[in-house]
Amino acid sequence: MDLYIDFVTENTTKRMNSIEKCEFIISKLKNKRVVVFEGGLRPEEEAILIEEAMLQIDHSSFLGYKIITPSPVRTPGLFSRKDIRMTVIAPQNYESLSVALV
Amino acid sequence: MEACVHLGILARIFAKSRKHSLTIGILGAPNAGKTTLANRISVECGNGKHLGIVSPIPHETRECFAMEHCMITDQHGSLDLTIVDTPGIATSVDYREFQHHGLSREESITRAKEATRGVVKAIQSLDRLDAAIVVVDAARAPFDQVNWTVMGNLEARNIPLIVAANKTDLPEADPKLVQETFQSEIIPISAKKGTGMNELYGCILAIANS
């Protein structure tokens, strides 16, 4: 299976509400995209994403997703240092999410 | 254990203001041992009957089941507990997994459809709880991210929670790793064998006192 990864910046999602964000992610997953999401999701958004995914699982092409949030990465710099949080979300059909992280 | 000592002190301090009843949800990933724990509490503190069926097949519990009037008692009195056993929370439901357990394709898809509805019910149950026990399978690292999702949602709703590191009867269980992973006090238990239950009841009483 070919692997496609979409990097989604916070700038892209900052005007989206939680539902829109989750629908955006699910549409990507349904198109067999792995989504690397800058800023991650809040726990409440993760719960909404689970609910939305469960409602949209069709038991053929979309079976849900795998999600991993690695520890935040700290950017270098004295005054501009900040923690960058990323969440990686992949369609369940990928046999191993670690493949997406390589 | 340390958590329980602290909570036990709190229990004594706040015993006079104890809540008399509490609805506590049992939450976590599929096959973490939620129903085994619910059955254990029901047998030890409730009507003695099992609340649900335990199975090695994931998503055996696909509805929320409640058991009222489980009584936990200490020297300060009794707590009337309603325990809510919830379906396992997952980010995916793959019907092929059920086929590996011997179910036909049709049976697997039917079970998968019920499982997806069960996950939604488990998420929605969060709004009806006074407290929660998050059951983590201590023998299955790396631990599922849904545990963080559940804990984060409970914290966002100000619902007190207990992390129970279950299956400590298995040789591969590593409760310390659970503690390190979740950066939280945990109660090591074996719902199957009944170990750690007194500590768990102590923590529930401490929540009722807070």
Residues 6+ apart with CB under 8 A from B85: B26, B34, B35, B38, B51, B52, B61, B64, B65, B66, B67
Residue in this structure with the two tokens 């179910």, named with its chain if needed? B103
Is A78 an 8 Å CB contact of chain B?
no
pLDDT for position B7: 55
Is B89 an 8 Å CB contact of chain A? yes
Contacts of B116 in chain A (CB under 8 A): 54-55, 57
Task: Report pLDDT for B12.
Answer: 54
What's the mean pLDDT in A28-38?
92
Per-residue pLDDT at B27: 97
Tens of pLDDT, residues A67-86: 988 877 777 776 777 777 88
* CB-CB neighbours of A46 under 10 Å: 26
Predicted pLDDT of residue B9 = 58
Closest residue by Cα to residue B146 from B115, B110, B182: B182
Q: Which of A56, A57, A65 to mutate to test the interface with B (most CBs of B within 10 A)?
A: A57
- Contact (CB, 8 A) for B157 and B123: no
Nearest-Cα distance to chain B for A56, in Å, is: 9
Q: State the Cα–Cα distance between residues B39 and B42, nearest whole angstrom.
A: 5
**What percent of chain B is modeled with pLDDT above 70?**
92
State whether B153 and A54 contact (CB < 8 Å): no
Chain A touched by B92 (CB under 8 Å)? yes
What does the mean pLDDT of chain A come to?
A: 85
- DSSP class of B127: G
DSSP strand E in chain A: where? 4-8, 33-38, 65-68, 73-74, 83-84, 86-91
Distance from CA of A81 to the nearest CA of B (A): 24
Q: What is the mean pLDDT of residues A36-48?
A: 91
- Which residues from chain A sit within 8 angstroms of residue B120, using beta carbons? 51, 54-55
A8 — pLDDT class (breaks 50, 70, 90): very high
A68 touches B: beta carbon within 8 Å: yes
Regions of chain B where pLDDT drops below 70 = 1-17
